[in-house]
Amino acid sequence: MEILGQGLSLFQRALASIRGIKPKEDRRLLGISMVVLSLICFTGIDSSAKWLIIDGMDVSQVVFLRYGVHLVILLVLLLPLLGKELFATKRLGQEITRGFMLFISTVFNFVAVGYLPLTVTSAIFFSLPLVLCALSVPLLGEHVGLKRWIAVLVGFVGVLIVLASGLYIWERERKRANN
């Protein structure tokens, strides 16, 4: 139990130290590190969701587990640190909309991992930068230069290559199973 307390303390200190950091261009390394860590976590989430679904658990139960565990972890870690401030918001409508979209995307993703190999669902997920770049201009007013567009398009070609080979293998296995 003491180790858990030390972990909580470390997490709370880390959170407090980055709370004041503003999203600036000169903090790219921090941003890249956070994205890499989140991708590692998403891999674990998708892999465990697929395992649970293949094992017979209903998608709704897997989604409930994901968000139920998240809620408990957030309350245990952040409520002592932030108190009532944890629930304060100036944009309730936007947060509810974002939460609803996250919930729906999780449901669709977990249904998809029940039908498709993780490599295929991951490749589809990696087409997200194309959508984000396209929407970041009108929604956020960000500037996306030509070099970034080229990088995103090259990455999207890679996604298409993985999808084509993954879907070919998936179709071949389906035909083999029907014979």
Residue 179 DSSP code: -
Which tokens in the block code for residue 57? 């658990």
SS3 label, residue 109 = helix
Residue range 92-130, pLDDT digits in tens: 999 999 999 999 999 999 999 888 888 778 777 777 878
Helix segments in 55-145, DSSP class H: 59-82, 92-115, 118-125, 128-140
Contacts of 124 (CB under 8 A, 6+ apart): 112, 159, 163
Report domain extents, the chain. 30-115, 117-179
Cα distance between residue 77 and residue 13, in whole Å: 11
pTM listed for this prediction: 0.65
pLDDT mean across residues, the chain: 81
Which tokens in the block code for residue 51? 């395992």
Residue range 155-177, pLDDT digits in tens: 888 877 877 776 666 666 667 77
Main-chain dihedrals φ then ψ at residue 144, nearest 5 degrees: -115, 110
SS3 label, residue 15 = helix
